[in-house]
């Protein structure tokens, strides 16, 4: 597997397809598992870490899905390639540092990925295009079940699955939905969403993960706690809340089209014009403009491109992707030029 090949294709989850893909970019389901009788990774010594990695790999190799995947040992992956995997949401930023005894199993189409020896011994992730919580859950549940046939997971009858961080203990489940909410944003309704979310045991983050601010109207909403509820309760709750947010966003889009038609179109076409013209552009500005263009596609105002191109650009415009594509290291200001070149070229600008 040449990691650089990843950037030549579109990941399955970027296709801009699937249920409610006008508002939901992607759905991610992740479960955390640890090996019974082994120290958690952060407390383990070198020998113990080596053991959990090897045991994990051995079990994975026995699973039917393994033949569709490939295995990366982090220490053999270059820094730039690790950064690329992080940017593609295939693994966490933490998994890219202190790489000894860390591994990644991933599918070619980038739906399934499994981190070995991140904070937990095993972190299974399924990433799908559109609003696909239950489908994602079925996939990951199947994988978890098969893997459980070849490994004994750390489990307490009182707490459920044991994890390195107590917020994951119980189900080990985190489901996240990446929403695009430009209409709620422009009508100042996002603070209401934040307020409702926090009361319902959910949390909200930006496109580029934990600790990043929500930018360009992309919001990642996920369950905050994994303990005290069944998997189905957690997923149902998330699905119900997200459905309400989607309905509100759709209503507000209708309102904008009916009542703020000219301003909305103006912002959309100016953003599109700027992306097709700029010679220097920061990632922050790019995401804001791509958000407006995505709305333009969703509203049928922009017809010559599809959502998939926009989703892909959100990924490709990141530093490691730009450097990998050009096969060259760049300073931040060179990146801003290369980013502008990329965006212009992909959107058919001048």
Smallest separation (angstroms) from a copy of itself to the CB of 259: 14
Render the burial of 248-271: b for 16+ CB within 10 Å, e for the rest.
Answer: bbeebbeebeeeeeeebbebbeeb
Instruction: Single out the segment in contact with a copy of itself by CB under 8 A; choices: 28-36, 48-56, 202-210, 275-283.
Output: 275-283
Contact flag: residue 93 with a copy of itself (CB under 8 A): no
Cα three-residue angle 131-318-220, rounded to 5 degrees: 30
In sequence order, what are the residues at sequence separation of 6 or more whose Cβ sits closer than 8 angstroms to the Cβ of residue 253?
Answer: 183, 295, 298, 299
Site for a copy of itself (CB under 8 A): which residue of 19, 206, 209, 349?
A: 349
**Gap between the Cα atoms of 187 and 218, Å rounded:** 15
In sequence order, what are the residues at sequence separation of 6 or more whose Cβ sits closer than 8 angstroms to the Cβ of residue 245?
Answer: 179, 181, 184, 193, 221
Are 82 and 99 in contact, with CB atoms under 8 Å apart? yes
Site for a copy of itself (CB under 8 A): which residue of 48, 277, 282, 326?
A: 277
Contact flag: residue 199 with a copy of itself (CB under 8 A): no
Contact flag: residue 272 with a copy of itself (CB under 8 A): yes
Smallest separation (angstroms) from a copy of itself to the CB of 328: 17
Run of H or E including 88: none
Contact flag: residue 269 with a copy of itself (CB under 8 A): yes
Run of H or E including 27: strand 24-33
Smallest separation (angstroms) from a copy of itself to the CB of 262: 6
Instruction: Single out the segment in contact with a copy of itself by CB under 8 A; choices: 58-66, 124-132, 200-208, 264-272.
Output: 264-272
Smallest separation (angstroms) from a copy of itself to the CB of 263: 7
Smallest separation (angstroms) from a copy of itself to the CB of 189: 23
Q: Which two tokens stand for residue 297?
A: 């596609």
Smallest separation (angstroms) from a copy of itself to the CB of 25: 24
Contact flag: residue 278 with a copy of itself (CB under 8 A): yes
Residue 178 CA neighbour count, 13 Å, CB half: 26
Contact flag: residue 330 with a copy of itself (CB under 8 A): no
| Residue carrying the six token digits 């994990």 | 56
Map the footprint of a copy of itself across residues 280-319, applying CB under 8 A: 280
Render the burial of 168-181: b for 16+ CB within 10 Å, e for the rest.
Answer: bbbbbbbbbbbbbb
**Gap between the Cα atoms of 247 and 176, Å rounded:** 18
Smallest separation (angstroms) from a copy of itself to the CB of 302: 9
Are 261 and 186 in contact, with CB atoms under 8 Å apart? no
Residue 149 or 350 having the CB closest to a copy of itself:
350
Residue 239 or 341 having the CB closest to a copy of itself:
341
**Gap between the Cα atoms of 230 and 166, Å rounded:** 16
Residue 297 or 340 having the CB closest to a copy of itself:
340
Contact flag: residue 263 with a copy of itself (CB under 8 A): yes
| Site map (CB under 8 A) of a copy of itself, residues 215-254, x = contact | ----------------------------------------
Site for a copy of itself (CB under 8 A): which residue of 75, 244, 270, 284?
A: 270
Smallest separation (angstroms) from a copy of itself to the CB of 276: 6
Burial class (CB in 10 A: 0-12, 13-18, 19+), 303: exposed
Contact flag: residue 194 with a copy of itself (CB under 8 A): no
| Residue carrying the six token digits 């990329």 | 342
> Would you tell me which residues interact with a copy of itself (CB under 8 A)?
262-263, 265-266, 269-270, 272-274, 276-280, 337, 340, 349-350
């Amino acid at each position: 597997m040449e990691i650089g090949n990843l950037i030549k294709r579109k990941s399955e989850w970027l296709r801009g397809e699937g249920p409610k893909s006008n508002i939901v970019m992607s759905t991610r389901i992740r479960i955390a598992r640890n090996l019974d009788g082994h120290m958690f990774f952060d407390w383990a010594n070198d020998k113990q870490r080596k053991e959990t990695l090897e045991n994990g790999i051995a079990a994975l190799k026995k699973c039917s899905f393994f033949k569709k995947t490939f295995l990366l040992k982090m220490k053999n992956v270059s820094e730039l390639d690790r950064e690329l995997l992080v940017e593609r949401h295939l693994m966490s930023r933490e998994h890219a540092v202190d790489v000894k005894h860390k591994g990644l199993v991933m599918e070619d189409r980038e739906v399934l990925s499994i981190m070995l020896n991140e904070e937990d011994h095993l972190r299974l992730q399924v990433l799908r295009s559109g609003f696909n919580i239950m489908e994602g859950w079925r996939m990951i549940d199947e994988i978890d079940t098969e893997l459980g046939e070849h490994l004994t997971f750390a489990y307490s009858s009182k707490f459920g699955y044991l994890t390195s961080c107590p917020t994951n203990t119980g189900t080990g489940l985190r489901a996240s939905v990446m929403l695009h909410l430009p209409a709620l944003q422009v009508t100042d309704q996002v603070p209401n969403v934040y307020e409702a979310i926090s009361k319902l045991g959910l949390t909200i983050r930006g496109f580029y993960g934990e600790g990043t601010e929500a930018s360009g109207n992309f919001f990642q909403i996920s369950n905050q706690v994994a303990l005290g509820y069944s998997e189905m309760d957690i997923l149902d709750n998330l699905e119900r809340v997200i459905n309400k947010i989607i309905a509100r966003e759709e209503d507000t889009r209708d309102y904008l089209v009916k009542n703020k038609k000219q301003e909305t179109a103006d912002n959309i076409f100016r953003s599109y014009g700027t992306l097709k013209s700029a010679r220097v552009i920061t990632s922050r500005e790019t995401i804001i403009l791509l958000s407006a263009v995505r709305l333009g596609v969703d509203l049928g105002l922009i017809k010559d491109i599809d959502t998939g191109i926009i989703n892909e650009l959100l990924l490709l415009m990141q530093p490691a992707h730009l450097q990998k594509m050009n096969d060259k290291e760049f300073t931040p200001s060179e990146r801003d030029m290369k980013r502008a070149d990329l965006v212009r070229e992909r959107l058919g600008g001048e």
